[in-house]
A and B are shown apart, each in its own frame.
Chain A
Amino acid sequence: MKYKSISVIVLLCLAVVSFAGDFGITISNTTVYRYTADWNISQTNRALLWISLPITANTNFYVSGFYEFAGDFSTASNAYTPYRFDVGLTYFSYKPALSTSLLTFMMGRLETTDITASIYSGSYDGLSLNILTGNSRFDIQVGYLGLLYKNDVLILVDDDDIASFTDDTKYFVNPRLLAMFGYRVDDFLKGFDIGFEFWSQFDLDPAGTPTHSLYYEPRCVWRISNYFTLSGFGILSMIINPEIALGYAYGAEFSASIPSFLRSTLSIKLFTSGGTAGDFISYAPIRLSSVSLYASGIYSDASAISAKFSFAPLPTMIFAFHSDILLREGTVIPAGYAPNSESLVIGSEYGIQFVWQAASDIALLAGGGVFVPNTLGAYPADAPHEWQVLLNCVLNF
């Protein structure tokens, strides 16, 4: 079986080389070291083979698949998956030659994200239609989420998802239908872009209670000058289970760029993942995402106010320093937080990142930071700091 698979891959590569197109292998190594009360190392190594095959001037076929090793190691336990094979980005694309607009149709295993990556970001199996005409852009995407690896997509909308996620015998995420529609106008007014997206997921799992959700996400960007940008967004969510419950999230960002000073950028950002309060429940996106960078278990009922300064001593090298303060928003409290605490401050985070495209085919990323819990009335005085260091290296053959 193994020889058959290898033979098929070699034949495909030879076919690509013989006719047209391109192929390559991307090898990546990711190591994450965490230390709270005890240490933990997550190790992921991936080798991805991709083939790009132009069929005509307007149509292209792209296929990719990967082998992955993943392991978690700590003093308490060691667990690892020695091999996993899965399909990566794989699609058939069609871009007809139009005179005044640009249309792209894609079908296959595609990747997507909402404007602010606050609803869903990841893969799906389905269709995508993108139309660019004048300063307007339309996006329509429809797909199935039931053939994706549960640890990759992190869809944890309801209790059935959590049960499935913790069940080691299950590989795929619970089946769902994903649909989105987006519309954006650049330079609606001079330097002012507006847009909105509708996202929805429909639970197709015949077992358990179906939980559907809908999201509306408007966003605006104001490019004040060549140096200053102000943006903001809001999300209103509706969870149907079968009762209807509303949730919200919002954010804003101001960034100032000083290209003449080491291509530096300073940005100040607010992001709130709404909490249980009044008529609202905790904000639940399709893909689980954290408000914090280093603190564990803070997914909603919290705000992060962050400041980030980045500079690029070389065009291919970026250093970034960031710091944020985490605040409570709602009634759900993080694990370890004093139940009766009146304090709004959860804690603060400090970190540094380094990204270097060392050559056309080698990229390095290193980063690390710490979450400092608020021990003045929120966490116990001996609450440990949460440390995290990430090293990532990518090599393209």
Chain B
Amino acid sequence: MKKVLLVLFAVLVCKLFAQSAVFFDEILSSKQITFSQAAYLVFVGNGEYQDTVKQEVVFEEALKRKWISQTDKPDKPITAAQFAYLVMEAFGFKGGLMYTLFPGPRYGFRELVFKGLIPITMDPQALVSGNLALRVVRIAAELKGLDK
């Protein structure tokens, strides 16, 4: 049953990503995605890069845009708050008062909870599973009309 669900989920996101099944297997089975995987998902999800792009390239791009901190490493697991900030910036979501004044992971996380992309019970410092990351990117793309 779990495998069937995973396959169905992969089919749902295939409009966004035409990447190899190996990558999705890796992401879906991952209990904690890394900064470079997260950067890949958001940049391919928002259509800025093709799915053939290397993870190192999009990681550097996110670093250049200051969406991730200089101290973050490509292979380091990303937290929910850091991932939320990446999604907010990559998909150009507008935030509330506090996010507008102080854009960053703290208020980015609250924005995605408010928009219903991240469960309200989730801790901002929790690590992000591949399953959740794909779901968040898929809904973000839908909200921005990028899935059509």
Contact = CB atoms under 8 A, between A and B. Distances in A.
B97 A22 contact: no
Interface stretch (A30-38, A165-173, A336-344, A357-365): A357-365
A53 to B, nearest CB: 9
B125 A54 contact: yes
Interface in A19-48: 20-22
Nearest to B113: A360
A361 B125 contact: no
A360 B124 CA distance: 16
Contacts of B114: 360
Contacts of A395: 97
Contacts, number: 37
A359 B123 contact: no
Contacts of A361: 96-99, 107, 110
B96 A359 contact: yes
Interface of A: 20-22, 52, 54, 60, 359-362, 395-397
Given A60-B123, A396-B98, 12 more contacts: A20-B123, A22-B123, A52-B123, A54-B123, A54-B126, A360-B99, A360-B114, A361-B110, A362-B96, A362-B97, A395-B97, A397-B98
Nearest to A19: B125
Q: Which of A359, A360, A362 has the most CB of B within 10 A?
A: A360
B83 to A, nearest CB: 15
A396 B113 CA distance: 14
Interface in B110-127: 110-111, 113-115, 123-126
Given A360-B111, A360-B114, A361-B110, A20 B97 contact: no
B100 to A, nearest CB: 9
21 contacts: A20-B123, A20-B125, A21-B125, A22-B123, A22-B124, A54-B125, A54-B126, A60-B123, A359-B96, A360-B99, A360-B110, A360-B111, A360-B114, A360-B115, A361-B96, A361-B98, A361-B99, A361-B107, A361-B110, A362-B96, A396-B98
B125 A359 contact: no
Describe A's contact surface by its main secondary structure.
Answer: strand
B95 interface: yes
Contacts of B97: 359, 361-362, 395
A60 B122 CA distance: 11
A134 B95 CA distance: 38
Contacts of A54: 123, 125-126
Contacts of B126: 54
A126 B116 CA distance: 32
A21 B81 CA distance: 11
B30 to A, nearest CB: 17
Interface string B57-71: 000000000000000
Contacts of B107: 361
A52 B122 CA distance: 11
Interface in B74-100: 95-99
Contacts of A60: 123
Nearest to A23: B106
B123 A360 contact: no
Contacts of B106: 22
Contacts of A362: 96-97
A110 B123 CA distance: 20
Nearest to B124: A22
B118 to A, nearest CB: 12
A4 B81 CA distance: 31
Nearest to A22: B124
A48 to B, nearest CB: 16
Contacts of A22: 106, 123-125
A50 to B, nearest CB: 13
A98 to B, nearest CB: 16
A60 B114 CA distance: 21
What 9 pairs across the A-B complex have the smallest Cβ distances? A359-B96, A360-B114, A360-B96, A20-B125, A361-B96, A54-B123, A361-B98, A22-B124, A360-B111
A397 B107 CA distance: 9
Q: Which of A21, A22, A52, A60 has the most CB of B within 10 A?
A: A22
A22 B108 CA distance: 13
Nearest to A357: B114
Contacts of B99: 360-361
A54 B123 CA distance: 8
A182 to B, nearest CB: 22
